């Protein structure tokens, strides 16, 4: 974790809202807070080495792997969103998406796949997928790639800002990689969700899957849809399933046409708290 990441995640919002005296105070203590927290940042794990003494993980189901690697996609997880020095071992109820993933992934578990996760954060889900898809190549993208805690010859970790079309184009589309699975678990804001799937759907192979987590955030959280824009991605999916027309300023005519001509199904499920959409390509 570099200094800029530490500042942007834990202090930027406080500095922006603070009065002048508090701003000066926060700026002065930031270097010391950063150095102190570095003492609590776990060492990066080389999964290629780790697997040699933990081979039994290859036999676990996906939800158990999510729980083992502390991913909030599973049943329970330790809070990973607070400062490293403030984290505890308390178990929190997680999203409970494992059973939905398993439904679609079980038949392709041992295939040689290319899988992209957008919003990889610490890489806990990537580590889970590493052991579940033992023959696959993983791509882990995030706006703060320095937070990623794992490494492997089968994992590529890189930067992408999923709220910017230019960043998606330069860091993903221009690489000309075709993916079997794309998991979108990044900012969850209205624009991010829409541009991610409609720009990247052409990067999915035939029969592949595009997954959107926390689908309903722009419908239920003001901070994920500051201007209360319509339609949300959730509304767009519902209109598509009803064969109704829709328009969004964030979707080009070309991308819209491609999606409508190439999607096979859109399924929406409710986890413990939030919704997940799984889109299958023809």
Closest by CA position to 228, among listed 181, 173, 191, 179: 191
Distance (Å, rounded) from C-alpha 72 to C-alpha 74? 5
Q: Is 243 left (phi over 0), alpha (psi -120 to 50) or beta?
A: left
Residue 211 contacts residue 279 (beta carbons within 8 Å): yes
Give pLDDT, residue 251: 96
Alpha helices in 54-109 (DSSP H): 62-68, 98-105
Give pLDDT, residue 105: 97
Non-local CB neighbours of 230 within 8 Å, separated by 6+ positions: none
Q: How large a percentage of the chain has pLDDT more than 70?
A: 100
User: Which residues on adjacent β-strands are paired with residue 158?
Assistant: 141
Helix or strand holding residue 165 (H, E): helix 165-171
Given a cut of 90, whether residue 88 has pLDDT beyond it is no
Give pLDDT, residue 16: 87
Task: Please state the rounded mean pLDDT for residues 236-244.
Answer: 96
- Delimit the domains of the chain by residue range: 3-38, 45-281
The string of pLDDT tens digits covering residues 127-158 is 999 999 999 999 999 999 999 999 999 999 99
Given a cut of 90, whether residue 89 has pLDDT beyond it is no
Displacement of CA 270 from its chain's centroid (Å):
17
pTM, 2 dp:
0.94
The string of pLDDT tens digits covering residues 168-203 is 999 999 999 999 999 999 989 999 999 999 999 999
Rg (CA), the chain: 19
Tell me which DSSP letter residue 230 carries: S
The listed CATH number (3.90.600.10, 3.50.50.60, 3.40.50.150, 3.20.20.80) that belongs to domain 45-281:
3.40.50.150
**Average pLDDT of the chain, as a whole number:** 95
Q: What is the DSSP string of 141-183?
A: EES-GGG--EE-TTEEEEE--TT-HHHHHHHTGGGT--EEEEE
Give pLDDT, residue 64: 97
Given a cut of 90, whether residue 80 has pLDDT beyond it is no
């Amino acid at each position: 974790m570099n200094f800029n990441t530490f500042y942007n995640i834990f202090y930027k919002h406080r500095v922006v809202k603070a009065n002048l005296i508090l701003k000066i105070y926060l700026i002065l203590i930031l270097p010391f807070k950063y150095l102190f927290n570095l003492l609590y940042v776990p060492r990066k794990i080389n999964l290629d080495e780790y697997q040699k003494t933990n081979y039994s993980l290859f036999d676990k189901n996906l939800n158990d792997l999510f729980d083992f690697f502390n991913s909030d996609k599973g049943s329970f997880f330790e809070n990973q969103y607070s400062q490293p020095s403030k984290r505890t071992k308390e178990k929190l109820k997680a999203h409970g998406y494992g059973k939905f993933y398993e439904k679609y992934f079980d038949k392709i578990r041992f295939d040689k796949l290319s899988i992209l996760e957008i919003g990889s954060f610490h890489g806990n889900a990537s580590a889970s997928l590493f052991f579940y898809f033992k023959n696959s190549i993983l791509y882990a993208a995030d706006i703060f790639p320095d937070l990623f805690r794992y490494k492997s010859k089968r994992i590529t970790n890189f930067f992408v800002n999923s709220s910017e079309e230019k960043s998606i184009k330069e860091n993903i589309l221009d690489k000309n990689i075709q993916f079997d699975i794309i998991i979108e678990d990044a900012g969850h804001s209205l624009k991010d969700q829409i541009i991610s799937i409609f720009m990247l759907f052409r990067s999915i192979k035939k029969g592949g899957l595009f997954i959107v987590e926390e689908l309903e955030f722009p419908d239920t959280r003001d901070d994920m849809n500051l201007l209360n824009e319509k339609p949300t991605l959730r509304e767009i999916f519902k209109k598509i399933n009803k064969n109704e027309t829709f328009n969004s300023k964030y979707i080009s005519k070309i991308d819209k046409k491609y999606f409508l001509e190439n999607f096979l199904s859109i399924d929406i499920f409710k986890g413990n708290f939030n919704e997940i959409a799984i889109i299958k390509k023809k």
